[in-house]
Amino acid sequence: MAVRMRLRREGKKKQPFYRVVVADARSPRDGRFIEDIGFYQPLSEPSGVRIDRERALYWLRNGVQPTNQVAHLLRIEGIWQEHRPDDTGTA
């Protein structure tokens, strides 16, 4: 089973709010997920990001691949550098 760390859209029309979830790659974007590990609020000023560090590192160490957007959020939170200290973050 291919597992991904990705964003799940919630909120009203034109007011998005995203959950960072771990889900099977075959499930739909807003469908079934394994675990909810954080959130991202792009419209708040400044943008709100909160990701459970322990759970994110657990999933990353077990081979879960984050999407590009989630990888960027992990870099913002400092979790990506903790997982891959040799990565410079220039993606």
Show the domains of the chain with their CATH numbers.
3-83 (3.30.1320.10)
Identify the segments of the chain with pLDDT beneath 70.
1, 85-91
Q: What pLDDT, on a 0 to 100 scale, did the predictor assign at position 25?
A: 86
Q: What pLDDT, on a 0 to 100 scale, did the predictor assign at position 40?
A: 93
Q: What pLDDT, on a 0 to 100 scale, did the predictor assign at position 82?
A: 83
**What is the three-class DSSP state of 27?**
coil
| pTM to 2 decimal places | 0.82
Q: What pLDDT, on a 0 to 100 scale, did the predictor assign at position 30?
A: 79
CB 88 within 8 A of CB 75: no
- Terminal-to-terminal C-alpha distance of the chain: 27
